[in-house]
Copies of this chain bind each other. A is one copy, B any other.
Amino acid sequence: MNKINANTLERACMNAEIITIGTELLLGQIVDTNAAWLAQRLAALGVNLYYKTTVGDNRERIANAIRLAMQRADVVLTTGGLGPTVDDMTREAIADATGRLLVRDPELVAHITALFRRWGREPSANNLRQADVPEGAQVLPNPIGTAPGLLVEHDGRYVIAMPGVPREMKRMMDEQVAPFLRRLVGEDVVIKIRVLHTVGVGESLIDEQIADLEEGANPTVGLAAHSGQVDVRITARAPNEKQADVMIAQVERVIRKRLGDAIYGADDETLEGVVAQALARFGRGVVIESNTRGEIAARLRAVAPEVVQAAEVVQPEAVSCAEAERWAQDAREAHGAAWALVVLGTAGANEGLYGEQRGETVVALALGEQVHCKALGLGGADEHSLSWVRNRALDVVRRTLLMASP
């Protein structure tokens, strides 16, 4: 099936670059989802990606980008610019960048002509441009489109051109390009990623705890912060998945020891998922909230619809633990529920993370006869501050439940 032939160069460490081509990308009319998808595939193949570039439909600039990428990388993957129209310039640019002529491929002419005849038409002169290939290029068949892909070997590097239509690109990558790259890297490298999710501890504090690990080369450790949550990403390169898992597990053990309860989950786990699961062990319950506008209940219901038996948004007269604890106990009893969560907060326009005042939110959880409460020292009405408040309120529930047993 697979038509790509290659000298099997075993490169212990192969670098790729992605070039996405299309003026609509530079005008911001579409978001470059192809690049993110390809980046994931390259990581899974164990191919390093250090740069990706976007250029418009301009022959000279596409050629420049390809020339530069060939200086830095073993493999250059392009998407887009292979269509039949005059602004589709990738074929010409690859020919320019590799010092080749464009020649018309008779097999491709026959293929395109047959396709059009089945549609009851003859291909136009422009359609036949899709049969032009840089001299010596291998053609990558496109079973679900008219734009064939191209593979050019040049000075020991490879330029691989794929269509810009996501479904055509993805299929060509999975069926033809990925197997080629796998042979090129010697089928013996994988990159695995594990993400640990923390909440309630600042990015810079986490950074201080694990700064030494962030300077490691393999696995690498990196941080990303989102509204009171910080993700710790561990990326390992190894000859196979098992070894990558062992390397990740070693680093993960160190990180877990240092960050302890701040870590609430990993990979696809979410804060609301973890909290909903912990609450469900006690039974169904009630959520009452004010400044968080019903979104704590909504997040819990989105992952576990049965766990919240009733939810209410209220306007409290006072924001205090005494008030919240009383509401929580009353609500739990009134609904005959296993638990009741009450989140009451101030929502002043000048309050919040970057407001003049901090504001205040209290989180009370009634669990059976017991009731726990914590003040967060943060309120506000802007979406960013509220996103923090919601995450930290869920974290209060999580940490309270860590101590309790059903």
Instruction: Establish whether residues A27 and B120, one from each chain, have CB atoms under 8 Å apart when the complex forms.
Output: no
Distance from A73 Cβ to chain B, minimum over Cβ atoms (Å): 12
**Is A400 interfacial (CB 8 A cutoff)?**
no
- Residues of B within 8 Å of A126, CB to CB, are 204, 207-208, 211
Binding site for B on A (CB under 8 A): 22-33, 35-43, 49-58, 61, 65, 68, 83-87, 115, 118-121, 123-127, 143-145, 167, 193, 195, 202-205, 207-208, 211, 214-215, 220, 222-225, 233, 235, 353-354, 358, 377, 384
CA distance A193 to B23 in the complex (A): 12
Distance from A172 Cβ to chain B, minimum over Cβ atoms (Å): 13
Q: Which residue of B lies closest to A49 (CB)?
A: B26
Q: Which 6 A-B pairs have the closest CB atoms?
A: A28-B39, A28-B40, A85-B207, A84-B204, A28-B36, A126-B204
CA distance A330 to B278 in the complex (A): 57
Instruction: Establish whether residues B51 and A27, one from each chain, have CB atoms under 8 Å apart when the complex forms.
Output: no
Q: A50-B56, A235-B27 are in contact. Are A85 and B36 (CB under 8 A)?
A: no
- Residues of B within 8 Å of A127, CB to CB, are 204
Q: List 30 A-B contacts (CB under 8 A).
A: A23-B220, A24-B222, A24-B224, A25-B39, A26-B49, A27-B43, A27-B193, A27-B233, A27-B235, A28-B41, A28-B42, A28-B43, A31-B31, A31-B32, A50-B61, A51-B55, A53-B53, A83-B225, A84-B204, A85-B211, A86-B214, A115-B354, A120-B377, A121-B202, A123-B204, A124-B204, A124-B205, A125-B208, A126-B207, A144-B384
